[in-house]
Structure 1
Amino acid sequence: MTAPNDHFSEIVLLGIISIGVMVLMGLAIRDNSAGEASAWTAILMAIINAIKERWQQRSLDRMGQSLANAPPANPPAQDPQP
């Protein structure tokens, strides 16, 4: 099984969701619902954390693919036995 390579669309989707969360958070702040606004802030922080983790996973995936495509290294030279 291979991992999906469409990381950009996942991040765009999370970005669109976060814009919606920010709009709802703004409405909650405008209505002076302090508890509700803090709940939206927690959701927004979770989305930002998910985006950050996805970018880190993307860089790890690219590094692993780069190592997989690299030619094998030559073994170190053996010292002659006395």
Structure 2
Amino acid sequence: MPRPREEFEDLRSFEFRDPEEVLEDDYLYTVYEIARLLQGVDPDREMDAETEAILLDWAIPWMLDNSEAFVFAEPDAEDEPGYYGLQ
């Protein structure tokens, strides 16, 4: 349900970083690792499923919006995520 604006003390500009600011050229990452990096979290850090889902809610639209900057590599197995890196 929407909340009145005055209930919030801290309103910030909505900005996303460019892929080159988040990822290193020589590596490929899973979408889960990219989601962590976007939030400034170590890509190897373990997270609970609920927190990871929230991070993915931010990462997936960002990746779609910047799709021209990415390449894709197939996963090692069908039940594993694929890998993404800079074009």
Structure with more of its chain in helix, by fraction: 1
Structure with the bigger RCO (C-alpha within 8 Å, sep 6+) is: 2
**So what's the TM-score if we normalise by structure 2?**
0.28
* Rg comparison, structure with higher value: 1
Higher strand share: 2
